[in-house]
Chain A
Amino acid sequence: DQQVKQNSPSLSVQEGRISILNCDYTNSMFDYFLWYKKYPAEGPTFLISISSIKDKNEDGRFTVFLNKSAKHLSLHIVPSQPGDSAVYFCAALDNYGQNFVFGPGTRLSVLP
């Protein structure tokens, strides 16, 4: 049973517009979330994180929103750039604080 879900396998966005990637989780004990970006032939790289004591965290063009009651988080990229084209993974720190439970990923394509 997937504890972290990303229901959109892919997303295409025009350059300069907003990209919104969504993530849902089922375990209410999760309290720390991250987004990773992965290019082909590379390992995942950390993008942005959020703790459950916050509902928003912003870093440059990237903003993550957390809705704890809905067990939902989203990543907003504004403005989107072609270099943002990658697979984005949502991850939650597991109950023991040891490792991450990853979603299946969403492939973002930013079209010039």
Chain B
Amino acid sequence: ETGVTQSPTHLIKTRGQQVTLRCSSQSGHNTVSWYQQALGQGPQFIFQYYREEENGRGNFPPRFSGLQFPNYSSELNVNALELDDSALYLCASSTKDRVGNTIYFGEGSWLTVV
């Protein structure tokens, strides 16, 4: 039990649709990062939010966007879904001066695009 909760756990969308994934961070953590884990691969960094501002971004197109709210929870939005967006989406919460053992991952949201 990490204290990081993600919703929904599984969902199926059609190509071209839009999706919103949600993450509630561990209490006391002000930083949220999102990762995409495709089948057979390691998690790939999408972006990070710190105090409601984007604070770093990986190699993902602009149709991947996010928000962080005053309570530090976060959303990942993906527009114009493509088949290759099918993956496990992981949220990780941490404090800004994090080290590995203060980063907690949620269980992830499985997205299938058909």
Interface residues of A (CB under 8 A from B): 4, 6, 9, 32, 34, 36, 41-46, 49, 89, 91, 94, 96, 98-105
CB distance from A46 to the nearest CB of B (A): 5
Interface residues of B (CB under 8 A from A): 2, 4, 33, 35, 40-45, 48, 55-56, 58, 90, 92, 99-101, 103-108
Nearest B-chain residue to A87, judged by Cβ: B42
List A contacts of B92 (CB < 8 A). Answer: 43
List A contacts of B104 (CB < 8 A). Answer: 43
Q: How many A-B residue pairs have CB under 8 A?
A: 57
Contact call A34/B100, Cβ cutoff below 8 A:
yes
Q: In the bound complex, how far is the Cα of B100 from the Cα of A49, in angstroms?
A: 7
Contact call B4/A43, Cβ cutoff below 8 A:
yes
List A contacts of B41 (CB < 8 A). Answer: 104-105
Contact call A49/B101, Cβ cutoff below 8 A:
yes
Contact call A99/B45, Cβ cutoff below 8 A:
yes
List A contacts of B106 (CB < 8 A). Answer: 43
